[in-house]
Structure formats: structure tokens, C-alpha cells
Amino acid sequence: MERKAVRAKLWTAREQADFGQKLSACRRAVLFLDYDGTLAPIVPDRDNARPYPGVRDALERLLEIKRCRLVLVSGRRVTEIQPLLQSRLPFEAWGSHGGEHLRVTGQLEMASIPETAHEGLRIAVERALHLLNEQAIERKPNSVAAHVSGVNAELAPQYLIELEELWEPIAEEFDLELLDFHQGLEMRVPGITKSEAVSSVLSEEPQDAVVAYLGDDITDEDAFSTLRDFGETILIGSEERPTSAKWLLKKEPEGRHIINFLHSAASALNR
């Protein structure tokens, strides 16, 4: 993954206003949104990662706008998103870092995975269960994620080291890749990333579509690199880190940063 160690510039009210002007003038807008850490706070119990208050209303406003394509892009299974989001309107989502695509029509498409990769992921689960319990293991079509958020915080780093030692030989043998994430480790089939998801979406859209992507994860960097020359790439964060995103949108309490962004985009598109 190419990652430029550059400083993202702060996304301020001025950038928001300029973006609003582009949105009001455009014939088509595409907004990509990561879920955890972007629309919802990162919480220890991932089954309870509810969106920030007000996010659902703001998303539903955007979902009603015909010239806007709203796309959720998450590392989660797509089936996990709606129980948390509870949107009254159907939405499009890419799950498992681009391995699953739920269209707004409800049609679900899955990336095809080589048989050997299935075998590697199966063995990875088996080995991880020597170390962690069933609830800590998340099986996805193209990956396995092991979460240490339920482990004693002092011991969690040691668990991650041991897990990496268990998984490295499997990844090598079955041509899979390891990926660190916040409080966990994931083994996944290479070549299925959020970047492929955004490229696939944009291939269905006019070239002059106004595009923005908001995310906070290392896995969002794939999409930032791909989109950097095509739209606004916005890292959600409280601190700077090396990123391919052009902008940094600072986290505010109760998700005010993201709610403002979404409402302001909806108002511009409704103009």
C-alpha cells in the first residue's frame, strides 16, 4: 500500500463552504463514509457501536436526494451495519473491506475467493481459538479478524504478538496478508480493499461527479490513495498521522464534526 507521509490540511468551515458550492452546482455527488470511528464512536463492545446521535437523521436526509449516491464502506460484514444504524431508508454498503457489496436495491454481491484462501482462513480461525475465545473471532467472506478488545488491557499487546506468530506462517503458505487494526489483527485475501470498492462505484458514475470520502482507518488509506486526484479525501481524527488523505476533519464530542458535514452537504444538495 502506498502511503505518503504528508500532513493533511485542516478541513475548516471554509473548505466546507467551498465543497457546498461544488455540491449545489453538480449533477451527481458520491459520498463514501466509513462506519466505525467515522459515523459511530469506537467502543470496546463492537456489537454496540451505535452511530452518534443525529447521524441517522442526517444520512436519511442525504438518502432522499436523487442526485446523491451515499456509500458506506466498512470492514464489518454488511449485515452488521443495519442493526446498528437502523436506517428507515435502504442504503448501499460495501462490507468486509470491499469483499461484499450490498446495493441500494438489496442485492448482495460477493468477491470471489480462491479455494486455497478459504483453507488458509479456516486454519487461521482454528489457531486463533487456541488463544482467544469464539466471540473474539470475526469470520468474514474474505478475511478473519481477531479482536483483543475483550482481553485484559495490559495483556492485549502480548496476545497480539502471539497471534501474529501463529498467523504469519499461515499467511505465507496460503498467500494471505496480515493487517493490524485498532485492538486486533486481521488476515485477509490480498487485492480486495476499500480502493477496489471506490473504483467500482466510480466506474458507474459520470466523470464530473463530485466525490468525497471520509474515514479514520488504516484500511481507508487504500481508498484515499485511489481518490486523492478525484475528490475530497478526509481523514477523521483527533491527531495527525501519516496519511494519503488531503484533509483532516477533527473529531468533536458526540460526533458534531460528522453531523455538521452531513447536514451541510444535504443542504447544499437541496439548494
Is 36 among the residues that bind Mg ion (CB under 5 A)?
Answer: yes
Question: Which stretch, 22-30, 36-44, 99-107, 111-119, contacts Mg ion (CB under 5 A)?
Answer: 36-44
Q: How far is the CB of 217 from Mg ion (least distance, A)?
A: 4
Question: Which stretch, 12-20, 32-40, 63-71, 198-206, contacts Mg ion (CB under 5 A)?
Answer: 32-40
Is 34 among the residues that bind Mg ion (CB under 5 A)?
Answer: yes
Residue of closest CB approach to Mg ion = 37
Sort strands 9-10 and 177-181 into parallel, antiparallel or unpaired. Answer: unpaired
Is 92 among the residues that bind Mg ion (CB under 5 A)?
Answer: no
Closer residue to Mg ion (CB): 32 or 159: 32
Determine which residue in the list 100, 138, 216, 232 makes contact with Mg ion, applying CB under 5 A: 216
Q: How far is the CB of 125 from Mg ion (least distance, A)?
A: 23
Is 37 among the residues that bind Mg ion (CB under 5 A)?
Answer: yes
Closer residue to Mg ion (CB): 203 or 238: 238
Mask: binding to Mg ion, 161-200, rule CB under 5 A, as x and -? ----------------------------------------
Q: Residue 211 and residue 19: Cα distance in Å, rounded?
A: 10
Q: How far is the CB of 107 from Mg ion (least distance, A)?
A: 25
Q: What are phi and psi of 95, to 5 degrees?
A: -115, 180
Closer residue to Mg ion (CB): 55 or 117: 55
Closer residue to Mg ion (CB): 34 or 232: 34
What is the size of the binding site for Mg ion (CB under 5 A)?
Answer: 5
Give the interface with Mg ion as residue ranges (CB under 5 A): 34, 36-37, 216-217
